[in-house]
Each structure stands twice: as structure tokens, then as C-alpha cells.
Amino acid sequence: MSNNRDSINNKVSNSAEQGVNFTIDQVAENALLLSWQAKISLTQHNEIIALQAMISQQLGELIIETVASYHCLMVYYCPQLSSSMQVIDKINRITKNVSYKHSDGYHQDNNPNHKLAHQPARNHCIKIPVYYDREQQWDLADVAKRCNMSMDEVIKQHSAHTYHGYALGFTPGFCYLASLPESLQLPRKSSPRIKVPKGAVAIAEQQSAVYPIESPGGWHIIGQTPLPMYESHHGQFNARIQVGQNVQFYAISKAEFIALEQGLTE
Amino acid sequence: MKQNFLEIITMNGQASIQDLGRLNAQHLGFSASGAADEFAFLSANKLITNKLNIKPEHNIAKINNKLANDAAIEITLGQVSLKANAACTIAITGADCQAKINNVTINNWQCHQLDAGDIIDFAMPKTQLHSYLTTAGGFTCQTAQQPWLGSLAQTVNEMALGFTGKALMVGSKLYFSKQNKPLADATPTQKTQLDSLKANRPTTSPALFYPQQKLTLRVMPSHLFLQMSSAQQQQFLATEYVISPDSNRMGYRLHVKPTQTSSPDKKILTQQLRSQCLLSMPVTYGMVQFPDNEQPIILMKERQTMGGYPVLGTVMQTDLFRLSQMRPGGKVSFTLITHPQAQQQLRAFYQKLY
């Protein structure tokens, strides 16, 4: 049965940096999955998206697309144009020949808070206005109760933190943000809501996110933003929050929410 | 310019516009979507298309770009009738809906001619699920509709975004793409091509492609599967599963036949291995998710782009096309295949159908 395994270990090291460590698995006829250690780490994620950029740049035509997440990078290629071994070989060459970790202009640093200080310009912080709903329409009161703090404290902690976009998925423009302060971490709701409203700001486990359109959802809703989570022009779709970007939430009043919402729709 | 169309006049099942899907927008969170059964979908296009003379080199680019103007109507469980407002040539494939033109039964897996005012009626099929109706150049559900991010495919969960028109219902008009000319107006060259088309049947007959009863799904084992003990691997491979009624275009849910239910201490996936798989990660077509209840979920065309359940492997694509036509209650089991073998099967499949 071990013959069925076509996994290659990449242990690329260079003198200046700690070794890159990920595995490549052929997970479908047209897809390779690159996996790093299963953890939420800003350092590791920056490596993943730097490698993603290099792959898109250098493998061009062979690649259909790449999808990044917390600790994985899925690479879709065209099996009619190249074999998986060719693509794997090219990925290995990128990791060997280029110190891609430098391409993003940062250094080895395991403290995520230090990392935020020298993010490249594209990582400027996106500020998202949130009407934290104290009127108990959603889950703010319940979250406060379960976290043993006041609603004001939940709002303060949620909005004081800087989050990082780790993955886009679930629905178009839904960006998984982490990490939520430990004091606010709760498991998902035991039964998901059938309808979560557009713009809902929600939390679950180590993550926070904004729902771009009305959809089902199992996260705890603590507020709502009037800011659209995507825009589309001339057949292009742009997510407000891109993978690799930093995000902060700030509290607004109900009146400000309504004013902003009206201003945006006019 | 006025576009001609078929209009839905009755509908009790489900129908949507499908092509080969939106394969390069998963990084934005869009489902790849696309025709559930590529064998029937591509056969319909092969029957009708006037692009038959394209050389294989060009076909490679076509597969890569997933040309959107081939979009067909995917009809699930039949029960739809449509009226043509202009003459056109159509092809029908997939689940056999005993289709009729003006109450005269017609053959499935063939091209047919419709005249203005003709009504084509699809009954509920006795077996299978999805039928395909296409015309040269394909259909759109709006006039002059452009593909959205490379595809016209509709996805239930994304209809609210409004990028791919409205869900099909009674009154919906399915427009022929502009370049489509009815057979009567065809140039002599097109006529010759169309004549050669009529002689050209799919090189694999449907009877040979689809399983007669139970389907053994060939699966490429995941890294996680290879860490399981040999006894646990064998237990998974020896289990016969039944397709649950909760299955749809997003995913096929399987359950163990009640007679086989094993005691809780005989889990296939240990807690220790399960605990390695807590973070959401990108998922792809055919992945076999294995939630705590050990009832597998196979990800199909309308899957989401991220998943959080442990994955035991990936079913090869040509078997997924077969699976997509199976109904709840159908029996499936798994057997292992290598990645190069699966790739070889897919290449051979596209060579026959492009």
C-alpha cells in the first residue's frame, strides 16, 4: 500500500534562514497540496503566501490557480499540459534557488505582534466599522455571558486586536481572520443558523470573519458592518479583505451604521 | 440583436445552466461548480458541436480554458418542458427522460431538429438523475450574457450574488448564443460538419460507461489514510456504503448499511489521527471527508472551497461522473488507485470526448 504514496518531503534549508518544511501530496488528477505544520502562525502563513506568489509568477501557464489557507497551499495545474512531477520539480526549484522568504521583506520572528510592525505596504491595515448590537438581536449578550465578561468588554477586546487574513472561502469574499483573543474563543454554535445577514461580524474558535452575503452560518454574531465585503467591476471580483492583509474592527453607533449604509447605497 | 430561445413552459424538477465550471476563482471563495456528469455533458457537446475538426492541440487549450460557450441545460429528475421560438438543432444525453417532441417520443443520446413552436418534454427518468440539453454554441439565461469569471455555471449558494443570472423557472428563456445558426441557415461547410456529427456517436457507449448496479469508487489515498493501521484501512475498504437522501450537487453523503454497524471501539479513524485535522484547508473535487460519525461525504461539483473535516482520499474524477448519476439508496464501496493511474484514466476520457 505504501507504493500508492507519492509524497515528497521538502526540507529546504539555507544558511540565513531556518529550513522551509512542507510536504507535497498529489491529492487529485489536477491538484497538489502543499502542507506545513498544522498551526495558525503569522510567520508560517507569510512563507506560504510568498511561495504562492512565486509559483503564480514563475509557473504561469502550467498553473490554473492556487488556494492558500492557514497551513496549506493547493496548486491546481493542467494535467494535459504537464505532469505532476514537472510541477513538483519546478516548485522544488523555486524553494531551492530563491530565498523566497526574503521576497516579502521580513525576518525570522515568531512573535506575531512584532511582525505587524514591518509588514510591506500591501499589508496596510483595513479598518472595518462595526455596529456591535447590544439590543440582543444576535449573540453579543450570549457571548459576553459565556466568556464571563460584560458586552462592553467583548466589544473592547474584539476591536482592540489586529487580525490577519489567512484564507478566502466558504462563500465568495469570506475571509478567515485570526487570531481572536483567547478570552473570546468559543466553539461554533451547536446548530448553525439558516440565515446569517449580509455584513454580520462573527466569531468562532480562534477566528473572526464578516459574512459577505446572506448565507447559513454557525458562528456567533456580535455585530454588523455596513461596508460591502466585495466589489465587482467589468467582470472582475475584488474581495475587500485579501489573504495576507491585516484587519481591525472599530465600533460605530446605530445612527452611524444607518448613515454609512445609506451613503454606500446612494 | 434579437436572440432566439427555448422557453421553460412547465417545470417540476430542477434545472440550471452548466458548463465545465469556474476553475480559477476558488481562491476568491467561488465554488468551481459545473456539469455534474461530464460524460453526458461532453457527449451532448460532441454530438452537436461544429468544432469537431479542431485538432487535439487546440483541445488542450480548450480543456484548460474551459470554454464557456458550450453551456448546456442540466435537468435533474426531468419533469421540464420547453418551447422553441425558432428552429434549432439540439442534442440530449444523460438520464433517459423519455423525451418527446410534440408528443412523439425521441431517442436519447442523439441530435434532433426543433422547429419554431415545437415543444420538447422531459418526463421523470426511471434511473439516473441528470439529463443535458444543448445546442451549437450553448445556452445563456440572459441575452448577450458574458461568462462570469470564465464560466456560465450556476451555483445554488451563489445565486444571491447575481453574477450568473436567475435560477431557472417557468417562464425562463434559454437563449442560443449569437453564433448559433439554425441548421436551415447553415453554410455548406457547416452542413457537412453537421452531417459528420450525426454519424459521430460518443466513442464510449453510455451502457459501458455507467455501472449497472453498485459502484466501486477508485480513490487516491490521502497522507492521513496512509498513517492509519492496515486493519483500519482494510475496514474502510471492506465497508459497503449506501447513498443518503441528503446528497446533492455539493456533496454525496454516505452511510454504512445498518447490518454492518460496528461497535464504537472499532472506529476507522483514531482520535489521535483525527486531532491532526482541526484547521480548515482547501478542498477539491472528489475528496472523501470523514466526520466524527464516520459517515463519509464525497465533495462534488458545487462543493465549497474550504473544509474542516479529515480527508481519507480523493475519488478519481471519471468515477465521480458515474457517481453523480446515482440516486439515494445506491451502493458504493472504495478501492485504492494510484495517482498516475487516475490521471491516465482522465486523459483517456478527455481524448475520447473532446
Residue A245, domain member (yes or no): yes
Q: How far apart are CA B342 and CA B340, in angstroms?
A: 5
Report the residue of B339, B346, B353, B354 to disrupt the A interface, i.e. the one with the largest count of A CBs within 10 Å.
B339
Tell whether A168 and A96 lie within a shared domain.
no
- Cβ neighbourhood burial of B144 (10 Å; 0-12, 13-18, 19+): exposed
How many H helices and E strands in chain B? 9, 21
For A103, A204, B246, the CA distances from A70, given in Å and listed in that order, are 20, 15, 30
Per-residue pLDDT tens digits for B297-333: 999 999 999 998 899 999 999 999 999 999 999 999 9
User: Does the structure show a pLDDT above 80 at A70?
Assistant: yes
Q: How far apart are CA B60 and CA A80, in angstroms?
A: 6
> What is residue B193's predicted lDDT score, i.e. its pLDDT?
58
Q: B344: pLDDT confidence band, cut at 50, 70 and 90?
A: very high
Q: A151: pLDDT confidence band, cut at 50, 70 and 90?
A: very high
In total, the C-beta contacts within 8 angstroms joining chain A to chain B are 156
CB count in 10 Å sphere of residue B328: 13
- Nearest CA among B329, B328, B319 for reference residue B349: B319
Residue A117, domain member (yes or no): no
- Please give the average per-residue pLDDT across A180-204, as a whole number: 92
CATH code, domain carrying A61: 3.30.1360.40
Select from A5, A31, A40 the Cβ nearest to the Cβ of B284.
A31
Please indicate if any CB of chain B lies within 8 Å of the CB of A62.
Answer: no
Q: A135: pLDDT confidence band, cut at 50, 70 and 90?
A: confident
B163/A232 touch (CB, cutoff 8 Å), yes or no = yes
Select from A78, A112, A146 the last residue of a domain: A112
Please indicate if any CB of chain A lies within 8 Å of the CB of B220.
Answer: yes
Select from A112, A145, A179 the last residue of a domain: A112
pLDDT above 70 coverage of chain A, percent: 81
B26 to chain A: nearest residue by CA?
Answer: A67
Please indicate if any CB of chain A lies within 8 Å of the CB of B275.
Answer: no
Bigger pLDDT: B264 vs A42: A42
Residue A119, domain member (yes or no): no
What's the mean pLDDT when you consider all of chain A?
Answer: 84
User: Does the structure show a pLDDT above 90 at A37?
Assistant: yes
Residue A158, domain member (yes or no): yes
CB < 8 Å from A in window 161-200 of B: 161, 163
User: Does the structure show a pLDDT above 90 at A192?
Assistant: no
Per-residue pLDDT tens digits for B231-260: 999 999 999 999 999 999 999 999 997 665
Tell whether A141 and A85 lie within a shared domain.
no
Select from A27, A68, A172 the Cβ nearest to the Cβ of B161.
A172
User: Does the structure show a pLDDT above 90 at B128?
Assistant: yes
B286/A28 touch (CB, cutoff 8 Å), yes or no = yes
A231 to chain B: nearest residue by CA?
Answer: B161
Q: Which residues contact B254 (CB under 8 A, 6 or more apart)?
A: B241, B242, B243, B244, B295, B296, B297, B298, B332
Tell whether A233 and A150 lie within a shared domain.
yes
> What is residue B53's predicted lDDT score, i.e. its pLDDT?
37
Chain B residues in contact with A25 by the CB 8 A cut-off are: 222-223
Q: B275: pLDDT confidence band, cut at 50, 70 and 90?
A: confident
A169/B282 touch (CB, cutoff 8 Å), yes or no = yes
Q: Which residues contact B93 (CB under 8 A, 6 or more apart)?
A: B40, B41, B43, B44, B47, B108, B109, B131, B132, B206
Q: What is the pTM of this model?
A: 0.88
Please indicate if any CB of chain B lies within 8 Å of the CB of A172.
Answer: yes
- Domain boundaries, given as residue ranges, for chain B: 5-209, 215-353
> What is residue B313's predicted lDDT score, i.e. its pLDDT?
98
Q: How far apart are CA A257 and CA A255, in angstroms?
A: 5
Structural element, H or E, at residue B347: helix B339-353
Residue type at B86 in one-letter notation: A
- Please give the average per-residue pLDDT across B194-208, as a whole number: 64
Lookup: cell for A227: 461596508
> What is residue B120's predicted lDDT score, i.e. its pLDDT?
97
> What is residue B199's predicted lDDT score, i.e. its pLDDT?
53
Tell whether A26 and A55 lie within a shared domain.
yes
Range with the poorest average pLDDT among A9-18, B95-104, B305-314: A9-18
Q: Which residues contact B159 (CB under 8 A, 6 or more apart)?
A: B166, B167
User: Does the structure show a pLDDT above 80 at B87?
Assistant: yes
A175 to chain B: nearest residue by CA?
Answer: B29
Residue A172, domain member (yes or no): yes
> What is residue B177's predicted lDDT score, i.e. its pLDDT?
76
The superfamily CATH assigns to domain B215-353 is: Cyclophilin-like (2.40.100.10)
CATH code, domain carrying A234: 2.40.100.10
Number of compact structural domains in chain A: 2
- Nearest CA among A128, A151, A124 for reference residue A140: A151
Q: How far is B159 from chain A (nearest CA, A)?
A: 10
Tell whether A65 and A152 lie within a shared domain.
no
Q: Domain range holding A41? A: 2-112
Report the residue of B154, B280, B298 to disrupt the A interface, i.e. the one with the largest count of A CBs within 10 Å.
B280
User: Does the structure show a pLDDT above 70 at B196?
Assistant: no
pLDDT above 90 coverage of chain B, percent: 66
> What is residue A108's predicted lDDT score, i.e. its pLDDT?
41
Chain A residues in contact with B163 by the CB 8 A cut-off are: 232, 237
Residue A133, domain member (yes or no): yes
DSSP letters of B266-331?
S-SS-HHHHTT--S-EE--TTEEE--TT---EEE-TT--SEE-S-EEEEE-HHHHHHHTTPPTT-E
Per-residue pLDDT tens digits for A101-133: 544 444 444 444 333 333 444 558 999 999 998
**Residues A111/A112/A116/A119 CA torsion (nearest 10 deg):** 90
Select from A31, A40, A169 the Cβ nearest to the Cβ of B29.
A169
pLDDT above 70 coverage of chain B, percent: 84
B306/A167 touch (CB, cutoff 8 Å), yes or no = yes
Please indicate if any CB of chain B lies within 8 Å of the CB of A2.
Answer: yes
> What is residue B273's predicted lDDT score, i.e. its pLDDT?
92
Report the residue of A4, A77, A198, A213 to disrupt the B interface, i.e. the one with the largest count of B CBs within 10 Å.
A4
Tell whether A41 and A161 lie within a shared domain.
no
Q: A21: pLDDT confidence band, cut at 50, 70 and 90?
A: confident
Tell whether A132 and A108 lie within a shared domain.
no
Contact B48, B134 (CB under 8 A): yes
Chain B residues in contact with A33 by the CB 8 A cut-off are: 281-282
Please indicate if any CB of chain A lies within 8 Å of the CB of B26.
Answer: yes
User: Does the structure show a pLDDT above 60 at B179?
Assistant: no
Q: B276: pLDDT confidence band, cut at 50, 70 and 90?
A: confident
Select from B64, B281, B336 the Cβ nearest to the Cβ of A81.
B64
Please indicate if any CB of chain B lies within 8 Å of the CB of A6.
Answer: yes
B225 to chain A: nearest residue by CA?
Answer: A5
**What is the distance, to the nearest Å, from the Cα of residue B155 to the centroid of all Cα atoms in its chain?**
12
- Please give the average per-residue pLDDT across A206-221, as a whole number: 93
Tell whether A98 and A195 lie within a shared domain.
no
> What is residue B3's predicted lDDT score, i.e. its pLDDT?
84
Tell whether A165 and A235 lie within a shared domain.
yes
- Please give the average per-residue pLDDT across A150-159, as a whole number: 97
